[in-house]
Amino acid sequence: MNEFVLALGWFGLYAPVALGAIGSAWGCALGGSAAIGAMLDSDGGYGRFIGVSLMPSSQVIYGIVIMFALQRETMTPESAAALFGIGVLAGFAMLYSGIRQGEVLASAIHASKAKPEIFGVSLAPAAVLEGFSVFALVFALVLSGSIPN
């Protein structure tokens, strides 16, 4: 039974990176696809379309930071449950935030094709979603300090 609990702990340790990477890749693909389509319909401003389509890539960076915060010298059954819970929940927050951020960015890119003056304002919802990822990051960092070594 202890081996299963320890395996869950290891899964929780690496879950923020893996789930954050999936969310980043998915979100960047959504935003990137919209950026490529927008470049066909626009006469300029290509860099800003590509630049904002990369915004979801921060999820994997947060996942890496969480993974390092959760690392312990030794994995014990007592710490494994906490590592699993914190890692998986923070990882799913990164996954969901990255995907939804990509969708919002795709909408912002599409809208700014027709009205370039709204480009900056249309990024506000993506910034709010980034904030939720930061909240998950802070949640994981604070709780990681209470996990027994």
Domain boundaries, the chain: 2-144
2-144: which CATH topology? Four Helix Bundle (Hemerythrin (Met), subunit A) (1.20.120)
Residue-wise pLDDT for 60-98, tens only, equals: 999 999 999 999 878 899 899 999 999 999 999 999 999
Whole-prediction pTM: 0.91
Q: Which residue has the higher pLDDT, 35 or 114?
A: 35
Mean pLDDT score of the chain: 93
Question: Which pairs count as long-range contacts for 69-78, CB under 8 Å and 24+ apart, including other chains?
Answer: 69/140, 69/141, 69/144, 70/12, 70/13, 70/16, 70/140, 70/144, 70/147, 71/13, 72/147, 72/149, 73/149, 74/149, 75/6, 75/9, 75/10, 75/13, 76/148, 77/2, 77/5, 77/6, 77/9, 78/148
> Does residue 113 surpass a pLDDT of 80?
yes
